[in-house]
Amino acid sequence: MRLSARSGWPSEPSPWAEAVARAKAHAKAHARARAEDGNDLVDLTLTNPTAVGLVHDAALYRALGTEAAARYHPRARGSAEARAAVAGYYARRGIAVDPERVLLYASTSEAYAQLLAIVADPGDAVLVPRPGYPLLDMLGDVVGVRRVPYPLAFDGAWYLDRTGLDAALSAEPRARAIVVVAPSNPTGHVPTADEQAALRARAVAHDLPLLIDEVFADYPLRGDVSTRCFAAHHDVPCVVLSGLSKVAALPQLKLSWAVLHGPSAEVDELRARAELAADAFLSVSTPVQLALPRLLEAAEELQPRIHARLRANIARIATLVRDQPVDLLPADAGWTALLRLPSVDGLDDLGWALRLLDAGVLVQPGFLFDLGAPPRVAMSLLTPPEVLDEGMTRLLRGVAAAIDR
């Protein structure tokens, strides 16, 4: 059997994945004894809301059991009612969306894959932010599309490095789209109005669509951040991706959407092709489409609890690292905090994450997001407060111990 070159991913777990598996197995094997001496592994990486107590009232899930789900009316773009519910979600945020310009998918990842296949041929490239969301690499491989990184840089705050973006664009003749993750995972950066204009100007100049992943747009971490970036402009085709996984903290229900903005002729062509591709999959289940209006209402009810957790956690981390050799990097929005760790002992981000694992706390080393030097680690802001406190205590103890060696 001969398999594709592009699916020849490494089959061996990375040293980091092995170390995490070992630490988890060890913690499990010694669960009882370790719980007694308070030394089990504290996981600060959980971003699955259903694993950290951020769940809806049980009655909501019954909305999925409606009898209307007995009948199947396949619709490539998703049912008109479900698409209208997506438009309603945006209307509540002051953004006009035509339900005819909405397509439903099973996940944002699936939307990426299908849409990348429409904007790019195998061997073509898309511009992606670095540091950034690691799954984009895998999704690009699946559809045979290369990723060309453009830099987000840090000088006390994250910003779009326009020189780097221009260099990436002019070096890549086969670029077919610019992907913008806004708010960014893991940096939490939201492009300023100037940066948005710069991205649109490049898209126009190079005749490229923008693919905007705004799955975290409902989660600003500061009052003065406006996370809705690109919908208001019509100078460039712009595909905005989001979905229930983050908006309603319901990753298990598998429903996401793409909203097409921009010049009619180009959007119509994009939509026609996207619809044909989606028709080959018909991947969104009937029960979740029928329940979507109710699920999006429930999202509005749950989101204040998520906001409260995110903001309490970020404030708590800021307090705990004060006067410590650890910096909390500023973030505009999202579910992730980045910590800058001291440069000691030749430790890079992987070295630090391994050291912290030994100290009984799991964080993500920056290399997973292409963060590079200096050493930085990521942690989830969805972490339950008592777990966060214990994890941060161990982290700061682990840092102090490394400095003292």
Residue 16 tokens read as 């980091």
The torsion region of residue 283 among left (phi > 0), alpha (psi -120 to 50) and beta comes to: alpha
**Is residue 22 packed enough to be buried (19+ CB in 10 Å), middle (13-18) or exposed (0-12)?**
exposed
Confirm or reject binding of residue 313 to ligand PLP (CB under 6 A): no
Interatomic CA distance for residues 336 and 172, integer angstroms: 31
In contact, 137 and 185? CB cutoff 8 Å: no
Instruction: Mark the segment that binds ligand PLP (CB under 6 A) among 102-110, 167-175, 198-206, 228-236.
Output: 102-110
Q: Which is nearer to ligand PLP, 185 or 289 (CB)?
A: 185
Which residue in 40, 78, 125, 133 binds ligand PLP (CB under 6 A)?
133
Run of H or E including 312: helix 286-321
Confirm or reject binding of residue 181 to ligand PLP (CB under 6 A): yes
CB atoms within 10 A of CB 304: 9
Q: Which is nearer to ligand PLP, 227 or 390 (CB)?
A: 227
Residues 251-280 that bind ligand PLP (CB under 6 A): 251, 256
Confirm or reject binding of residue 359 to ligand PLP (CB under 6 A): no
Confirm or reject binding of residue 108 to ligand PLP (CB under 6 A): yes
Which residue in 78, 243, 262, 365 binds ligand PLP (CB under 6 A)?
243
Is the dihedral angle over the CA atoms 309, 312, 318, 319 positive or is it negative?
Answer: negative
Instruction: Mark the segment that binds ligand PLP (CB under 6 A) among 106-114, 154-162, 263-271, 346-354.
Output: 106-114
Confirm or reject binding of residue 215 to ligand PLP (CB under 6 A): yes
Is the dihedral angle over the CA atoms 111, 115, 121, 123 positive or is it negative?
Answer: negative
Interatomic CA distance for residues 385 and 308, integer angstroms: 11
Which residue in 42, 63, 109, 187 binds ligand PLP (CB under 6 A)?
109
Q: Which is nearer to ligand PLP, 89 or 133 (CB)?
A: 133
Confirm or reject binding of residue 107 to ligand PLP (CB under 6 A): yes
Minimal distance, residue 186 CB to ligand PLP, in Å: 8
Minimal distance, residue 105 CB to ligand PLP, in Å: 8
Residues 384, 386, 387, 389, Cα dihedral to 10°: 120
Confirm or reject binding of residue 45 to ligand PLP (CB under 6 A): no
Q: Rule CB under 6 A: which residues touch ligand PLP?
A: 107-109, 133, 181, 185, 213, 215, 243, 245, 251, 256
